[in-house]
Copies of this chain bind each other. A is one copy, B any other.
Amino acid sequence: MAEQTQHEQASPAVQKRIQDSFDLQGLMAHLGARLTHIGPGRVHIVLPARPEVTQQHGYVHAGATSAIGDSAGGYAALTLSDEDSEVLTVEYKINLLAPAAGDYLEAIGTVLKSGRTLTVCQLEVYGVQGDGVRKLVANGQQTLIRVDRPAE
């Protein structure tokens, strides 16, 4: 995927829909995560490293790494769904490739296959130093299901 394509923005309506949903996720706020890119089929979430998200050696906990990966994939899938539907994670698998070190983590969810009912996403999480050096710390694959949005 060309660099330009990767950073294509979703429409303002889609961006608003994703941001509104994200803002309802108590966990994302509690972890200190924020959305940094919403493109068609591709969403980035950043999580600053701080003591509240660590495991026993001071690296970011696999649970926090996975949480932002899962959310990035879920929202990437949602960018390709119509506004009457939403998506739920069916399952995911993630490999922790290296200690999650860095000033912050960046999770990237990318839609690999968008079907009528199911969507499959690739999940990548990078550890990023303040000087911009990046390292892939986790890589995963996720399956999501499209469901009707509950009436409000």
Give residues in A with beta carbon < 8 Å to B: 21-22, 24-31, 50-57, 61-64, 66-68, 70-71, 88-98, 112-113, 117-118, 120, 122, 136, 139-141, 143, 145, 150
Contact = CB atoms under 8 A, between A and B. Distances in A.
A93 B93 contact: yes
Describe A's contact surface by its main secondary structure.
mixed
Copies in the complex: 4
B141 A141 contact: yes
A89 B62 contact: yes
B145 A118 contact: yes
A61 B66 contact: no
Contacts of A26: 50-55, 61
Contact of A67 (B25, B66, B71, B89): B66
Q: Which 5 A-B pairs have the closest CB atoms?
A: A63-B67, A93-B93, A24-B56, A27-B61, A26-B54
A89 B98 CA distance: 10
Given A26-B61, A95-B143, 6 more contacts: A25-B61, A26-B53, A63-B67, A66-B66, A89-B96, A93-B141
B94 A92 contact: yes
A141 B143 contact: no
A141 B27 CA distance: 23
